[in-house]
Amino acid sequence: MSTIANYLNSRRYEISKYAEVVEIILISLIVLLTPIVVPQLLNIVFGETSLVATNSQYVVGSLVNTGLIVAAINIKGWKKIVSIITLPSISAMGSGLIFKSASIYTVYMIPAIWLGNFALVYLYKYLYVNKNINYILSSVLAIIAKVAIIFVGFNLEVLTNIIPQGTKVVEMLKVAMGMNQLITATVGCIIAFGIVKLVYKNKNA
Structural domain total, the chain = 1
DSSP assignment string, 138-194: HHHHHHHHHHHHHHHHHHHHHHTTSSPSSSHHHHHHHHHTTHHHHHHHHHHHHHHHH
- Domain residues for the domain of 21 are 2-199
Map 6-69 to HEC letters: HHHCCCCCCCCHHHHHHHHHHHHHHHHHHHHHHHHHHHHHHCCCCHHHHCHHHHHHHHHHHHHH
Residue 156 exposure: Cα atoms within 13 Å on the Cβ side = 10
pLDDT digits (tens, 9 = 90+) for 144-202: 999 999 999 989 988 888 777 776 777 777 888 889 999 999 999 999 999 998 988 76
Residue 205 belongs to a domain: no
pLDDT digits (tens, 9 = 90+) for 44-63: 999 888 888 888 889 999 99
Residue 204 belongs to a domain: no
Residue 14 belongs to a domain: yes
Residue 22 belongs to a domain: yes
Residue 31 belongs to a domain: yes
